[in-house]
């Protein structure tokens, strides 16, 4: 089954929504889809740009980052 925003991605982002509202709504499908490349680039290159979410939060796991990348590859399914 394809990765789904509502089932798979949104639950990962939900707890960080408030802290990123200045830029986009991480729980809003259209916002995340429109910024998917920017978000993926940031998540995939934490060593260069710094982890997101930043300390003291635990960074996303490699599996969660991979899931987001797969969601893009599969065409950003709702």
Q: Which residues bind ligand HEM (CB under 6 A)?
A: 13, 16, 19-20, 23, 26, 38-39, 42, 50, 52-54, 57, 60
d(CA 32, CA 66): 16
Minimal CA–CA distance to 43: which of 31, 52, 35, 34?
52
Please state the closest distance from residue 2 (CB atom) to ligand HEM, in A. 20
Query: What backbone phi and psi angles, to 5 degrees, belong to 73?
Result: -60, -30
φ/ψ of 36, rounded to 5, equals: -60, -40
What minimum distance in Å lies between the beta carbon of 33 and ligand HEM?
A: 13
Residue that has been written with the tokens 């599996």 in this structure = 63
Question: Smallest distance from the beta carbon of 16 to ligand HEM, in angstroms?
Answer: 4
């Amino acid at each position: 089954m394809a990765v789904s925003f509502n089932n798979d991605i949104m639950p990962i982002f939900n707890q960080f929504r408030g802290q990123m509202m200045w830029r986009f709504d991480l729980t809003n499908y259209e916002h995340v889809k429109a910024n998917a490349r920017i978000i993926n680039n940031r998540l995939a290159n934490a060593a260069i740009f710094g982890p997101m979410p930043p300390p003291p939060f635990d960074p996303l796991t490699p599996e969660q980052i991979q899931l987001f990348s797969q969601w893009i590859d599969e065409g950003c399914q709702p």
